[in-house]
Structure 1
Amino acid sequence: MELPPEVIALCVSAGTLVANSMASDLYHLARAGLQRLGRVGPAHMRQIERLDRDRAEVIAAPENQQQAVILDVSNDWKTRLRDLLEEYPELVPELEALVKQLEAAGGSSDSKNLTVINQRAGKGGQNIYSGRDTNVGRKR
C-alpha cells in the first residue's frame, strides 16, 4: 500500500522525535507511545527491544559523534514507522497523538537543518519528497 504524502511526513516527524528523545528525559514517553502502537503483534515487541538498543547506542556514543548516531537512528525509525503504517494504516491517529504528545512535552523534530529525501517512483512516475520545511503536493 502506498502511503499518502502526509503520512510519510508524519513518519519523518515521528522518527526524528523518537531519535531526538533518546538522550533526554522524553525517552520514556516516546517508548511508552511506541509500545501502545506495538500492540498489533509480537514482531513489534522486537522493535521495542531495538528501540532500547538504539538508545544505548546513542548514550554510549562520544559527545562529538552523538548527533551522527542520532541521525542514523532517526533514519532507521522513519523507515520502521513507515513500514508499520503501511501494514497497519489504522495506527495513523495514534502516531499523530504520540507526535503531538512529544512536541507538547518539549520534543524536537528538528534534524539540525538536515533535508531528508524519501523518493519512490511508481508506475506513473510520481515522486514524493519529504523533509524539514517542505510542502508536499502534486500538481495535476
Structure 2
Amino acid sequence: MDEMALREAREAVVREHMDSENEHRFDDTLGTFDHPRYELMATGETHDGADEVMDYFRTSRAAFPDQRNDNVVLRHADDAIVVEFDLHGTHLGELRGIPPTGRTFRSRMCALFLFEPGSDRIVCERIYFDQLSILQQLTG
C-alpha cells in the first residue's frame, strides 16, 4: 500500500472507531484494533486486550450512557493519527465512587491513535485529558 493509500485507510479506521463508540457498536470498535489497548493518561489506567477494553466501555457508558465525541480534528503523523475532540455526556451512573449527579460535562481531549509501520489497524489509543475540569463540572 502506498503512503497516501495507507494514510486514507488509517483515517477511515479512526473515523469508524470514533463513530462506532458514539453508536455503542463496541464490537465494531474492537475490530478497528490489531490488538485493543487504551491508555488513559490522566488516570494512569491501561486497558489491554479485548476483555479489558470491553469492560472499560461498559463501565464508562454505565456512568455516561450518552457519552459522545464531536468537533473532531485529525492530524497525521508517520506512525499515528492525532485527534482533537470534545467529549461530553451526562453523569447518570456511578463514576469512581461518585454517585450520579445528573450533570453534564464537556471536555476538549487529545488522542493518539498509534499504528505499526505499514498497518492500518490501531495498536493503541492513548488519551490525554483534564480529569479535574470534568470532576468540577460533575460535582459543581
Report the TM-score range of the alignment, normalised by the length of the smaller protein: 0.3 to 0.5
Question: Which has more helix, going by share of residues?
Answer: 1
Give the TM-score normalised by structure 1. 0.35
Q: Which has the higher contact order (CA 8 A, sep 6+)?
A: 1
